[in-house]
Amino acid sequence: MENQEFRRWDELIPDALGMIFRNLSLQDVLTIVPRVCKSWRKAAIGPYCWQEIDIEEWSKNCCPDNLDRMLQLLITRSCGSLRKLCVSGLSREPSFTFIANNAKSLQMLRLPKSDIGDSAVEQVAGMFSNITFLDVSYCIKIGARALGAIGKHCRCLTGLRRTMHPLEVIDKLSQDDEALAIARTMPKLKQLEIAYMLVGTTSITEVLKNCGHLELLDVRGCWNVNLDENFVKKFHQLKVVGPLVVDCYDRNGWDNCSDYSSSSGYVPWDFVAGDMDDDDFDEMSDVYWEEDDQSIEDVEMWFYDDLNAVDSGYDWPQSP
């Protein structure tokens, strides 16, 4: 229609483009969008697309060097506006410190399977003062000291996820000190997920007494926890899940579990991050974004360790 006025996509303001590009895959935003036009490139390399960074799925199969470089690239692009970060398997303290140094606006932090220890957390916990939800599931080097430091400095924290793998705690005698650290320092918690931790009734009772705002307590697989029904009824807003493990195909009673969690949905890929020009985009398209063919020898078997199932609300299927 000759007289009808059409709005041009390249004339949208950058923050509007950024909101649209969040619906695309990470691969598309990094390699395709910047090559469409100048305004799209400006949006893709600016903070508009990187206020929420979810590379959890990709980082599961990523070497430490590539993961560090990707975090440097994306967090730098966020220009201090980062609100959400999801990454799995963080193994190096400098990257954790880099995250902390850029955490002024960070509200949700998911670091499952990270290799960060108590001392590293204690050194930078004060930089995460605006965090409202933290996921340190399967982080075997984190203990009561780290949780205590988090509780002391992260006064806005309302959700904590500390689910463990049964085999990772098999050599531990108890994790009651972690539960007590939570009870002492995190009074504003509304959601606490500590499935398969080695905690007992006494320490969980302390959590309930001190965390008066709790709405969800997930103690699935915490076989030493035996809460008195009449005691639990005193907390009218509280929903307790576990310690029995519900069949993984039964969602009844699980609607409120892991409301703060979300699966990234990205397909694993390899990427070498850095400042990119057109030649870099061509190289990435030809090399780094190809899916690898897997032989039967490369197949990895996972037992009781599916983070996507975790995000759907069922950490573990019923034990055989």
Q: Which DSSP string do the residues of 292-310 spell out, in sequence order?
A: PP--GGG----SS--HHHH
Cα distance between residue 15 and residue 41, in whole Å: 12
Judge whether 103 and 303 are in contact, CB under 8 Å.
no
CB 18 within 8 A of CB 48: yes
Tens of pLDDT along the chain (320 residues) come to 455 555 566 566 666 776 777 777 677 777 777 777 777 777 777 777 788 889 998 888 888 999 999 999 899 988 888 999 999 999 999 999 999 999 889 999 999 999 999 999 999 999 999 999 999 999 999 999 999 999 999 999 999 999 988 777 677 778 899 999 999 999 999 999 999 999 999 999 999 999 989 999 999 989 889 988 888 888 888 899 978 876 443 444 334 444 433 333 333 333 333 445 554 444 444 434 444 444 444 444 444 444 444 443 434 444 43
Q: Is the pTM of this model over 0.75?
A: no
d(CA 192, CA 304): 20
Amino acid at 198: L
Q: How far is CA 224 from CA 10, 200, 221, 243, 290, in A?
A: 60, 5, 9, 8, 48
Looking only at the bridges linking them, the beta strands covering 191-193 and 216-218 are parallel
3-state secondary structure of 159: strand
> Could you give the residue range(s) of every CATH 3.80.10.10 domain in the chain?
52-241
Strands (E), 93-151: 108-110, 133-135
Amino acid at 245: V
- CA–CA gap between residue 62 and residue 74 (Å, rounded): 16
Report the C-alpha gap between 271 and 289 in whole angstroms. 7
The pLDDT of residue 2 is 52
Q: 101-122 burial, b if ≥16 CB within 10 A, otherwise e?
A: ebbeebbbbbbbbbbbbbebbb
Class of domain 8-49: mainly alpha
Where does the chain hold its CATH 1.20.1280 domain(s)? 8-49
**DSSP 8-state code for residue 257:** T
Spatial distance between the Cα atoms of 151 and 23, rounded to a whole number of angstroms: 34
Domain 52-241 maps to which CATH number in 2.30.30.220, 2.70.98.10, 3.90.25.10, 3.80.10.10?
3.80.10.10
pLDDT of residue 217: 94
Burial group, residue 226, by CB count within 10 angstroms (0-12, 13-18, 19+): exposed
* pLDDT given for residue 17 in this prediction: 72
253: region left, alpha or beta (phi > 0 left; psi from -120 to 50 alpha): left
pLDDT value of residue 25? 67
Chain position carrying tokens 């430490």 = 64
Q: Which pair of tokens denotes residue 176?
A: 């009651």
Cβ(164)–Cβ(138) under 8 Å?
yes
Alpha helices in 199-257, H assignment, sequence order: 201-210, 229-232
